[in-house]
């Protein structure tokens, strides 16, 4: 499976709302003049002119002006195509070029779109069911794969959650696509409860990645077409060098949950899932 699939009741975005960049050369897709990068937060400190990653272009119609590099990846040397450290340390979305763009498939702003390049192995862990590891070393900032599944409504996700509770099934594979959720958004699809990805019945190997309170991966929201923010991708990147064979893990709640507080409340502990990650930083519970 290379991409998530929409459930029958999730309409695709109408063609007239799809927009891509019109950059003359692939190189331009690294700069803030590329419309795909128009929503990237300005962070001048990371791209200062004259720095190894900074650059200046000529804009013929408006005279000289600076074009800041805004794309998420390293553009030179052995780390080409790996996420820059500042992006990696952030929880900001990643914007990439896509099908509606005029740039070529060699555009440097198409990393997640090209899919997994790393061989993954599913293996039986001692105490957490199946887990995932790579048979090759992975570098900090390297893209691993996407989390894929069936894209379903919040209502259907809640129905499945309730069902799984009744069935006493312990494994949960639901992921909310809530990175751009905003009650004040002009896009009604971003105002309501977010769509969710369910990896239980259809997915790829990443559905087997376990949680750790001290993880080696992080999930980033990756956007192709800006009209599809409500169905953004979930892209795994390594947040440190990972030697081959080490179990791949990410933080299921990534610091945005109050489960740490709940874990100290004995009344709530009985409803929480105990964490078996075994790290020194273990918070005791998954959620
Ligand atoms: C997305 S699945 C991961 C794959 C799962 N191990 C399997 O065999 O299918 C998530 C489930 O794995 C288990 N799990 C993942 N990380 C865990 C951890 N650190 N401690 C305990 N259970 C964990 C929980 O049952 C959780 O609901």
**Tell me, what's the pLDDT at 267?**
67
Phi first, then psi, for residue 21 (nearest 5°) are: -80, 165
| Phi then psi dihedrals of residue 124, to 5 deg | -85, 120
- The active-site residue out of 71, 73, 147, 173 is 147
Tens digit of each residue's pLDDT (9 = 90 or more) over 93-139: 999 999 999 999 999 999 999 999 999 999 999 999 999 999 999 99
- Residue in 126, 133, 286, 287 to alter for ligand 1 test, most ligand atoms within 8 A of Cβ: 286
Residue 95 designated active-site:
no
Q: What DSSP state is assigned to residue 203?
A: -
188 closest CA partner among 6, 3, 15, 11? 11
pTM as predicted? 0.89
| In the chain, domain spans | 5-256, 259-287
Q: How far is the CA of 171 from the centre of ligand 1 (A)?
A: 6
- Kindly report the average pLDDT of the chain as a whole number: 86
Question: What pLDDT is stored for residue 255 in this prediction?
Answer: 64
Choose the catalytic residue: 31, 71, 173, 252: 252
The pLDDT of residue 285 is 85
Closest ligand 1 atom to Cα of 170: 25
- Under CATH, which number does the domain 5-256 receive? 2.170.270.10
Q: Is 147 a residue of the active site?
A: yes
The preferred substitution site among 127, 133, 211, 279 for testing ligand 1, maximizing ligand atoms within 8 Å of CB, is 211
Residue 276 CA: which ligand 1 atom is closest?
20
Q: What is the pLDDT of residues 60-95, one digit of tens each?
A: 444 334 567 788 999 889 999 999 999 999 889 999
What is d(CA 106, CA 254) in angstroms, rounded to the nearest whole number? 33
pLDDT of residue 54: 38
What would the mean pLDDT of 211-224 be, rounded to a whole number?
A: 96
Judged against a pLDDT cut of 70, whether residue 4 lies above it is answered with yes
Most ligand 1 atoms within 8 A of CB, residue of 124, 125, 126, 128 to mutate: 128
Asked whether 33 and 70 are in contact (CB, 8 A), the reply is: no
Ligand 1 site: residues with CB under 6 angstroms?
128-130, 170-173, 207-208, 210-212, 275-277, 286
Please give the biggest Cα pair distance in the chain: 66
């Amino acid at each position: 499976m290379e991409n998530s699939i929409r459930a029958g009741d999730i309409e695709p975005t109408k063609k007239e709302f799809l927009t891509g960049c019109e950059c003359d050369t692939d190189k331009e897709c690294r700069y803030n003049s590329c419309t795909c990068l128009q929503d990237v937060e300005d962070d001048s400190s990371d791209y200062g002119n004259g720095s190894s990653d900074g650059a200046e272009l000529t804009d013929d119609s408006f005279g000289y002006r600076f074009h800041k590099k805004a794309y998420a990846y390293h553009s030179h040397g052995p780390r080409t195509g790996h996420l820059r450290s500042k992006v990696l340390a952030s929880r900001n979305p990643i914007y990439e070029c896509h099908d509606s763009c005029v740039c070529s498939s060699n555009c440097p702003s198409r990393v997640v779109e090209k899919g997994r390049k790393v061989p993954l192995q599913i293996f039986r862990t001692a105490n957490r069911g199946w887990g995932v590891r790579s048979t090759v070393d992975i570098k900090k900032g390297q893209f691993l794969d996407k989390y894929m599944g069936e894209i379903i409504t919040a209502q259907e996700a809640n129905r499945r959650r309730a069902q799984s509770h009744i069935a006493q099934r312990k494994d949960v594979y639901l992921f909310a696509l809530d990175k751009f959720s905003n009650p004040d958004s002009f896009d009604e699809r971003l105002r309501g409860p977010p769509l969710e990805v369910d990896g239980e019945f259809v997915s790829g190997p990443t559905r087997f990645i376990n949680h750790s309170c001290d993880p080696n991966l992080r999930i980033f929201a990756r956007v192709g077409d800006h009209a599809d923010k409500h169905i953004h991708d979930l892209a795994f990147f390594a947040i440190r060098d990972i030697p081959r064979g080490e179990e791949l893990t990410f933080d299921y709640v990534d610091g945005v949950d109050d489960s740490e507080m709940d874990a100290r409340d004995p009344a709530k502990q009985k409803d929480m899932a105990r964490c078996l990650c075994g790290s020194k930083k273990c918070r005791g519970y998954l959620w």
